[in-house]
């Protein structure tokens, strides 16, 4: 599923993987989509809108009530859960 197809209220699993010299690192977050956003960061980035780096973010409410924000990049896998 793509970032653009996400909708608030969907239950999703977000999987991110990072290749490291010590071996791959994998992180999984499961929760209910609260918001889908594209926000600018405090980082400066030439020739971008407002000269800032913009990131795609998904705000999730986890099963225990914790709210977490996940930055979504081209390697992030999003699975819709029943």
Give the max Cα distance, the chain.
42
pTM score, whole prediction: 0.79
**Per-residue confidence band for 7, with pLDDT thresholds at 50, 70 and 90:** very high
pLDDT of residue 23: 84
DSSP class per residue in 22-80: T--EEEEEEEEEEEEEEEEEEEE-TTSGGGEEEEEEEEEEETTS-EEEEEE-TT-EEEE
> Which domains does the chain possess?
3-80 (2.30.30)
Burial letters 29-47, b for 16+ CB under 10 A, else e: bebebeebeeeeeeeeeee
pLDDT in tens, 20-38: 888 888 999 999 999 999 8
Q: For residue 53, is pLDDT > 80?
A: no
pLDDT of residue 46: 59
Q: For residue 66, is pLDDT > 90?
A: yes
Give the residue from 38, 40, 39, 36 showing the smallest Cα distance to 5: 36
């Amino acid at each position: 599923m793509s970032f653009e197809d996400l909708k608030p209220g969907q239950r999703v699993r977000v999987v991110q993987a990072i290749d490291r010299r010590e071996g791959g690192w994998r992180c999984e977050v499961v929760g209910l989509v609260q918001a889908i956003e594209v926000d600018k960061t405090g980082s400066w980035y030439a020739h971008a809108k407002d000269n800032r780096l913009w990131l795609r973010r998904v705000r999730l409410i986890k099963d225990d009530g914790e709210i977490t924000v996940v930055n979504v990049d081209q390697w992030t896998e999003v699975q819709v859960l029943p």
